[in-house]
Structure 1
Amino acid sequence: MKQLSSSSPPAVVQLLPVPEAPIISVVDVTMSFPIVKRYREMLLHPLRPRRVHTALSSVTIEIQRGDRVAVMGPNGAGKTTLLKLIGGLILPTKGDVVVDGFNTNYDSGAARKSVGFVLNEERSFFWRLTGAQNLEFFGTLDNLGGVDLRNRIQELTSLVGLEEAAARVVEGYSSGMKQRLALARGLITAPSVLILDEPTRALDPIASDEMIDLILSRIYVDSRKTLLIATHRMDEALKLCNKVLVIDKGRVQAFDTISDLKRDRITLPQYYRRALAVGEI
Structure 2
Amino acid sequence: MGSSRHKRAQLASPHDNQKSKKRKAANTDDEYDSPDLEETKPKRARKKNGEEKRLKRHRARPPRTYIERLHRVRIQRMFLLDRNRSTSEDGTHEEEVFDIAGTTGNVYNVTISKVLDCSCPDSSKGNQCKHIIYVLVNVLKAREDLAYQLAFLTTELEEIFSNAPVRPQSDGATATATETGGHRKPIEGDCPICVMEFEESDKSDTIIWCKAACGNNVHKRCFDRWARSKPGEVKCVYCRTPWKGDEKDLKGISKRGKVNEEGYVNVAGQLGLSGHRDTSTYHEHWARREFGGGYY
TMscore range, shorter length:
under 0.3
TM-score in terms of structure 1 length: 0.28
TM-score in terms of structure 2 length: 0.27
